Amino acid sequence: MSDALPSNYDQSLYSAHNRLFFRLFQVGNTLDRKCSNELGISPVHWAVLGALSRPRVQSGMSFSDLTEYLGVSRQNLDAVLKRLERDGLVQRIISEHDRRAKNVALTAEGLKTWESLQDDFFNFYAQALDTLAFDDVVTLIHLLNKVNDGLKSIKIEQQAASS
């Protein structure tokens, strides 16, 4: 074991954590591949359309609120929105509250596309989660929320390199 490891280092715990984060990585990659191959849509496009399809944001939501809601960077979201705008699925409209700001909203075509995908989404969910009971799904959501909160709170202080 290296001297650089913390004094409370536990190999079993580290191994379990490593496996968990690797599985999350695999799940993300599998989701990306299956969405593209089976649904013809990327997970981030799916997430943007889903976020904007919610009834409380029918008139759109600010770019900043959308980045926060989705947990993506401004640069990544901007690139995704440009493609969705090009495809006629979303639009940026001047905010009613601040004429300098723009909100992002689904177009009529975007809403129609979202609605046309619902049966495929339902089938996708059903197949992906076929082996999980309802209570397992609820528990998994709860646990993933805890992992996400933990990730958001990470602050690793960089130690000065020893000379």
Note whether 34 and 88 are within 8 A (CB): no
Would you call 115 exposed, middle or buried from its count of C-beta atoms within 10 A (0-12, 13-18, 19+)? Answer: exposed
Task: Say whether pLDDT at 163 is over 50.
Answer: no
Q: What does the pLDDT look like over 80-111, one tens digit per residue? A: 999 999 999 999 988 777 777 789 999 999 99
pLDDT of 65 reads 93
Q: What does the pLDDT look like over 24-51, one tens digit per residue? A: 999 999 999 999 999 999 999 999 999 9
* Domains with residue ranges and CATH for the chain: 44-151 (1.10.10.10)
Q: Is 90 helix (H, G, I), strand (E, B) or coil?
A: strand
pLDDT of 161 reads 57
Residues 39, 139, 64, 114, CA torsion sign: positive
Predicted TM-score (pTM) of this structure: 0.81
Q: What does the pLDDT look like over 58-87, one tens digit per residue? A: 889 999 999 999 999 999 999 999 999 999
> Sheet of 90-94: strands edge to edge?
61-62, 102-106, 90-94
Q: What does the pLDDT look like over 105-160, one tens digit per residue? A: 999 999 999 999 999 999 999 999 999 999 999 999 999 999 999 999 999 887 66
